A and B are shown apart, each in its own frame.
Chain A
């Protein structure tokens, strides 16, 4: 049974059809690349799954159970975490503070509850170690490299042990060396049996880590193939429309 199953998902914004009748399935421990040109509907699809807005029609089935999200927090509670394109971190806080933002660990003395800094530092250090990232929990995010920021954003998703991690262009704004680091992080997520959806423009990234690639064009899915059975040339053709569908 797939961990996440989208059936006939469509989304209209007024007269504009952003998505029409998209079916996608993701297994646990599988990385699916989601590709498409600007405006093809990738972000819309991610936002529907992450609970930013509901689909106009179609259904989302998570672990065999149909779900309806109206807020991101509901999707998170059901085990769907998203790493946003701009990473959504607070530069003025430490790595650990960002990991636990909105989900702070607290201790209790009598009626008072206070932030448990040492537990958060410890837990964050553990998460970074699992991700094999050289990120120090006490460093301010302001002083961090793009790869380290990415590790913080990904570590956030692991607090709740999600089933599905959505990654929106995680390698768009970082250096070549850091890209390798992020791809390694994605492999770790796969090894720990998470389903990952990687939205990306970068063909080499998709072919490096994904098991399957789905291509959207003008709101419709035009291909869904195993990586081993396709090629960057074919995918490029599918994205641009030079190849109709596959």
Chain B
């Protein structure tokens, strides 16, 4: 008798759980990137009424290109934040990798070597961050704060505090990669779109993605389950740094020049974009789509203030406001959930 009722319970449960699967829209509505996306659409609608410049191809081109760099870096940052870590060194690393790229190409080497040097430097810095954090169990905040200072300083030393604007024989190709567009979409935006797809697939369908989220949810449980926790942590810092290197490579090509001040204070914008995109600084939660969406909102704020004739000095005010609102919103939803 009792076992019969138990069995029917289990069957009911199963039918409930399979029904839940159909309502994917419901689970999407519950995520933060969805609401930020709604906010972006709302701002877009308001702006296209207020300003007749906003909805022009030129302006949309500029907006998307501008936020692509932050979107690329926010993707890498999301992986770090999922593990309850933080990487403050991404801005300085842009300066360092940008200078390295510039120096290699200035010396007459092809763009491929410039790219390899750029990404190699980025990966190495990420490796140092990751090893210190994972194996020596140092706090991510401290390690990457130290790296913020170190990377910037190395950039100053190796650049001899000079601007680089000659990129050797491949100068045109280099500037095309970062500055031009394919099918009317700026190249950095293509890179961001592809990278977002890669992160989405990795978070959802790879064991690496599953393990990154497990480490962020409960490091001890992950360890007891046989997950190589230290290697996973090192991997996210290498990936985050590599994203910063990639963004620097594209940005230098777009600018056509590089100084060791490239990326100064960008770490704050990148972290803000990631958090606005739904990543939880306590770890365990982030969305691949959230990174570009968070970055888009921040660029949209800047662009809208500009077009609305409000002093651009107010931009950081609104970025800060949205950041705090995003975290507040998440806390309210969590309380509602439990």
Please report A residues at the B interface, Cβ cutoff 8 Å: 72-73, 76, 84, 87-93, 97, 101-104, 106, 114-115, 121, 125, 128-129, 132-139, 142-143
9 A-B pairs with least C-beta separation: A90-B217, A92-B284, A102-B225, A92-B217, A114-B205, A88-B221, A136-B17, A102-B226, A101-B225
B218: A residues at CB distance < 8 A: 88-91
Please name the residue on chain B nearest to A76 by beta carbon. Answer: B226
Main secondary structure, interface of A, reads loop
Q: Nearest Cβ distance between residue A219 and chain B, in whole angstroms?
A: 25
Q: Report yes or no: B14 in contact with A115, Cβ–Cβ below 8 A.
A: no
- The verdict on A93 contacting B214 (CB below 8 Å), with A88-B221, A114-B206 known, is yes
B210 proximal to A (CB < 8 A)? yes
Q: Whole-angstrom distance between the alpha carbons of A135 and B16 in the complex? A: 11
A-B residue pairs in contact (CB < 8 Å), sample of 25: A72-B224, A88-B221, A89-B218, A89-B221, A90-B214, A90-B218, A91-B284, A92-B216, A93-B210, A93-B217, A101-B225, A101-B227, A102-B211, A102-B214, A104-B210, A114-B201, A132-B9, A134-B9, A134-B10, A135-B13, A136-B16, A136-B17, A138-B20, A139-B17, A142-B337
A101: B residues at CB distance < 8 A: 210, 214, 221-222, 225, 227
B209: A residues at CB distance < 8 A: 115
Q: Report yes or no: A88 in contact with B17, Cβ–Cβ below 8 A.
A: no
Q: Whole-angstrom distance between the alpha carbons of A137 and B20 in the complex? A: 11
B207 proximal to A (CB < 8 A)? yes
B25 proximal to A (CB < 8 A)? no
B26 proximal to A (CB < 8 A)? no
A132: B residues at CB distance < 8 A: 3, 6-7, 9-10
Q: Report yes or no: B6 in contact with A143, Cβ–Cβ below 8 A.
A: no
Q: Whole-angstrom distance between the alpha carbons of A90 and B217 in the complex? A: 5
Q: Report yes or no: A143 in contact with B225, Cβ–Cβ below 8 A.
A: no
Q: Whole-angstrom distance between the alpha carbons of A139 and B217 in the complex? A: 15
Q: Report yes or no: B217 in contact with A91, Cβ–Cβ below 8 A.
A: yes
Q: Report yes or no: B226 in contact with A138, Cβ–Cβ below 8 A.
A: no
Selected from B6, B9, B20, B205, the residue in CB contact (under 8 A) with A115 is B205
Q: Nearest Cβ distance between residue B81 and chain A, in whole angstroms?
A: 13
Q: Report yes or no: A134 in contact with B220, Cβ–Cβ below 8 A.
A: no
B3: A residues at CB distance < 8 A: 132
B56: A residues at CB distance < 8 A: none
Q: Whole-angstrom distance between the alpha carbons of A76 and B214 in the complex? A: 20
B249 proximal to A (CB < 8 A)? no
